[in-house]
Amino acid sequence: MPALSSRTSALLVVFAGFGLASAQTFRRLGACPTLGCVFPPDQTDFLAGQLFDIRLEVHAPVNGSEASNNGVPDEKFTFCIQNGKGSCTDVTKFFKVQDPVLEKWSFSYFEDLFAKDAGTPNLVNVASKAYRGLSLTKPGTYTAKLSYNGGSSTVAKWVVRKPATKRKAKNVLFFIGDGMTQAMITAARLIAHKSVNGNYQSLMQMDQMENLGHQMTHSIDSFITDSANSATALYTGKKSSVNALNVYADSSKSALDDPKVETIAELFRRRIGGALGIVSTAYIADATPAALCAHTRDRGQSAIVVTEYLNGASAVNSTLHWPTSCEGPDVLFGGGAEQFIPGSGSPNGTDYYKAFQAKGYKVVRSNTELSAVGNKDKTLGIFSISNLAKWLDRNVLKDNLKGQKNSPTGDGTDATDQPGLKEMTIKAIDILQARSKNKGWFMMSEAASIDKMMHALDYDRALGDLLELDDTIRASIAHLKKIGELEDTLIVVTADHGHGFDVFGGADTKYLAAQTTDRKKRSAVGTYAASGSSGYTVADGMSPNNNTIVFGSQGPNFPVTWNPRYTFAAGFGANPDHREDYALQTKGPRVPAVSSADGAVANPNDKPDGFSVPGTLSVDESQGVHSLQDVSVFASGPGSEAFRGVYNSVDIFFKIADVLALGKTH
Amino acid sequence: MPALSSRTSALLVVFAGFGLASAQTFRRLGACPTLGCVFPPDQTDFLAGQLFDIRLEVHAPVNGSEASNNGVPDEKFTFCIQNGKGSCTDVTKFFKVQDPVLEKWSFSYFEDLFAKDAGTPNLVNVASKAYRGLSLTKPGTYTAKLSYNGGSSTVAKWVVRKPATKRKAKNVLFFIGDGMTQAMITAARLIAHKSVNGNYQSLMQMDQMENLGHQMTHSIDSFITDSANSATALYTGKKSSVNALNVYADSSKSALDDPKVETIAELFRRRIGGALGIVSTAYIADATPAALCAHTRDRGQSAIVVTEYLNGASAVNSTLHWPTSCEGPDVLFGGGAEQFIPGSGSPNGTDYYKAFQAKGYKVVRSNTELSAVGNKDKTLGIFSISNLAKWLDRNVLKDNLKGQKNSPTGDGTDATDQPGLKEMTIKAIDILQARSKNKGWFMMSEAASIDKMMHALDYDRALGDLLELDDTIRASIAHLKKIGELEDTLIVVTADHGHGFDVFGGADTKYLAAQTTDRKKRSAVGTYAASGSSGYTVADGMSPNNNTIVFGSQGPNFPVTWNPRYTFAAGFGANPDHREDYALQTKGPRVPAVSSADGAVANPNDKPDGFSVPGTLSVDESQGVHSLQDVSVFASGPGSEAFRGVYNSVDIFFKIADVLALGKTH
The answer to whether the Cβ–Cβ distance between A197 and B565 falls below 8 Å is no
Which of B25, B32, B607 to probe by mutation at the A interface, max A CB count within 10 Å? B25
Q: DSSP string covering A602-644, please?
A: E-TTSSTTSEEE--SS-TT--S---B---EEEEEESTTGGGG-
Q: DSSP string covering A77-106, please?
A: -EEEEEETTS--EEHHHHTT-PPPPPEEEE
Q: What per-residue confidence (pLDDT) applies to A349?
A: 97
B 554-593 residues with CB < 8 A to A: 560, 565-566, 568-575, 580
Find chain B residues with C-beta within 8 A of A519's C-beta: 598-599, 619
Does the model's ipTM exceed the 0.95 cut?
Answer: no
CA-to-CA dists, residue B59 to B66, B102, B120, B153, B665, angstroms: 10, 14, 19, 12, 35
The answer to whether the Cβ–Cβ distance between B525 and A618 falls below 8 Å is yes
Domain spanning A171-500+626-659: CATH superfamily = Alkaline Phosphatase, subunit A (3.40.720.10)
Our separate counts of H helices and E strands in chain B read 17, 30
Q: What per-residue confidence (pLDDT) applies to B575?
A: 83
Does A516 count as an annotated binding residue? Answer: no
Does B178 count as an annotated binding residue? Answer: yes
Find chain A residues with C-beta within 8 A of B113's C-beta: 508, 511, 523-524
The answer to whether the Cβ–Cβ distance between A500 and B503 falls below 8 Å is yes
Please give the biggest Cα pair distance in chain A: 80
Say how many C-beta atoms besides its own lie within 10 A of residue B87's C-beta. Answer: 7
A 172-191 residues with CB < 8 A to B: 181-183, 185-187, 189-190
Nearest to A505 among B625, B630, B650 (CB): B625
Does B377 count as an annotated binding residue? Answer: no
Element (H, E) at A511: helix A509-514
Does A66 count as an annotated binding residue? Answer: no
Task: For B560, name the nearest residue in chain A, comparing CA atoms only.
Answer: A16
Does B288 count as an annotated binding residue? Answer: yes
Q: What per-residue confidence (pLDDT) applies to A522?
A: 82
Find chain A residues with C-beta within 8 A of B614's C-beta: 518, 612-614
Distance CA B279, CA B424 (A): 7
Torsion sign over Cα A532, A537, A543, A546: negative
The answer to whether the Cβ–Cβ distance between A22 and B511 falls below 8 Å is no
The answer to whether the Cβ–Cβ distance between B549 and A12 falls below 8 Å is yes
Q: Domain B211-440+488-493+634-659's class?
A: alpha beta
C-alpha count within 13 angstroms, C-beta hemisphere, residue A436: 23
Fold classification of B4-8+20-161 (topology level): Immunoglobulin-like (2.60.40)
Which of A189, A617, A628 to probe by mutation at the B interface, max B CB count within 10 Å? A628
Sequence letter at residue A420: G
B 188-207 residues with CB < 8 A to A: 189-190, 195-203, 206-207
Work out the burial of residue B287: count CB atoms within 10 Å of its CB; fewer than 13 is exposed, 13-18 middle, 19 or more buried. Answer: buried
Give me the average pLDDT of each 10-residue run along chain A (666 residues): 33 34 65 93 97 98 92 97 95 96 95 90 96 97 97 96 97 97 94 91 95 96 92 97 95 95 97 97 97 95 95 84 92 98 96 98 98 98 97 92 96 97 98 96 98 91 95 97 98 96 88 86 83 83 79 83 84 83 79 89 88 83 82 97 97 98 94
Q: What per-residue confidence (pLDDT) applies to B25?
A: 62
Give the number of A-B residue pairs with CB atoms closer than 8 Å: 504
Q: What per-residue confidence (pLDDT) applies to B403?
A: 94
CA-to-CA dists, residue A516 to A512, A521, A522, A610, angstroms: 9, 7, 11, 10
The answer to whether the Cβ–Cβ distance between B530 and A25 falls below 8 Å is yes
CA-based nearest residue to B354, from B313, B317, B306? B306
Q: Express each pLDDT in A296-325 by its tens digit.
A: 999 999 999 999 999 988 888 877 889 899
Active-site residue identified among B227, B407, B622, B640: B227
Q: What share of chain A is helix, strand, coil (3-state, %, to 5)?
A: 25, 25, 45
Nearest to A212 among B43, B213, B528 (CB): B213
Does B499 count as an annotated binding residue? Answer: no
The answer to whether the Cβ–Cβ distance between B539 and A22 falls below 8 Å is no
Distance CA A452, CA A162 (A): 38
Q: Which residues contact B244 (CB under 8 A, 6 or more apart)?
A: B228, B229, B232, B258, B296, B297, B298, B299
Find chain B residues with C-beta within 8 A of A566's C-beta: 22, 24-25
Q: What per-residue confidence (pLDDT) applies to B21?
A: 35
Distance CA B411, CA B408 (A): 8
A 7-66 residues with CB < 8 A to B: 7-8, 11-27, 31, 33, 41-44
Q: What are phi and psi of A68, to 5 degrees?
A: -155, 140
Q: What per-residue confidence (pLDDT) applies to B329?
A: 97
The answer to whether the Cβ–Cβ distance between B500 and A498 falls below 8 Å is no
The answer to whether the Cβ–Cβ distance between A222 and B43 falls below 8 Å is no
Give me the average pLDDT of each 10-residue run along chain B (666 residues): 33 34 65 94 97 98 92 97 95 96 95 90 96 97 97 96 97 97 95 91 95 96 92 97 95 95 97 97 97 95 95 84 92 98 96 98 98 98 97 92 96 97 98 96 98 91 95 97 98 96 88 86 83 83 79 83 84 83 80 89 88 83 82 97 97 98 94
SS3 string, A117-138, reads: HHCCCEEEEEEEEEEEEEECCC
A 622-651 residues with CB < 8 A to B: 625-630, 632, 644-646, 648, 650
Q: Across-strand partners of A109? A: A122
Which of A521, A527, A538 to probe by mutation at the B interface, max B CB count within 10 Å? A527
Distance CA B330, CA B381 (A): 11
CA-to-CA dists, residue B186 to A228, A625, B190, B580, angstroms: 21, 17, 6, 21
Whether omega for the bond prior to residue B40 falls within 30 degrees of 0, making it cis, is yes
Q: Across-strand partners of B508? A: B566
Does B430 count as an annotated binding residue? Answer: no
- Put simply, whether B138 touches A (Cβ < 8 Å) is no
Does B117 count as an annotated binding residue? Answer: no
The answer to whether the Cβ–Cβ distance between A528 and B620 falls below 8 Å is no
SS3 string, B233-275, reads: HHHHCCCCCCCCECECCCCCCCCCCCCEECCHHHHHHHHCCCE
Which residue blocks in A403-502 are alpha helix, DSSP H?
421-435, 449-455, 459-482
Q: What per-residue confidence (pLDDT) applies to A25?
A: 62
Does A455 count as an annotated binding residue? Answer: yes
The answer to whether the Cβ–Cβ distance between B22 and A544 falls below 8 Å is yes
Task: For B34, name the nearest residue in chain A, comparing CA atoms only.
Answer: A546
Query: Domain coordinates of chain B in residue numbers?
Result: 4-8+20-161, 211-440+488-493+634-659, 505-571, 576-623
A 214-243 residues with CB < 8 A to B: 214, 216, 218-226, 233, 239, 241-243
Distance CA B210, CA B188 (A): 20
Q: What per-residue confidence (pLDDT) applies to B565?
A: 85
The answer to whether the Cβ–Cβ distance between A646 and B500 falls below 8 Å is no
Enter the pTM of the model. Answer: 0.92
Q: What per-residue confidence (pLDDT) applies to B9?
A: 32
B267-277 burial code (b ≥16 CB/10 A, e <16): bbbbbbebbbb
Q: How many angstroms separate the CA of residue B524 from the nearest CA in chain A?
A: 7
Q: Across-strand partners of A45? A: A159
Distance CA A496, CA A215 (A): 9
Q: Parallel, antiparallel, or unpaired: how do β-strands B593-596 and A78-83 relate?
A: unpaired
Q: What per-residue confidence (pLDDT) applies to A371?
A: 97
Q: Which residues contact B422 (CB under 8 A, 6 or more apart)?
A: B468, B471, B472, B475
Distance CA A63, CA A653 (A): 41
Active site residue A227: yes
Q: Express each pLDDT in A149-176 by its tens digit.
A: 999 999 999 999 999 999 999 999 999 9
Which of B13, B34, B184, B186 to probe by mutation at the A interface, max A CB count within 10 Å? B186
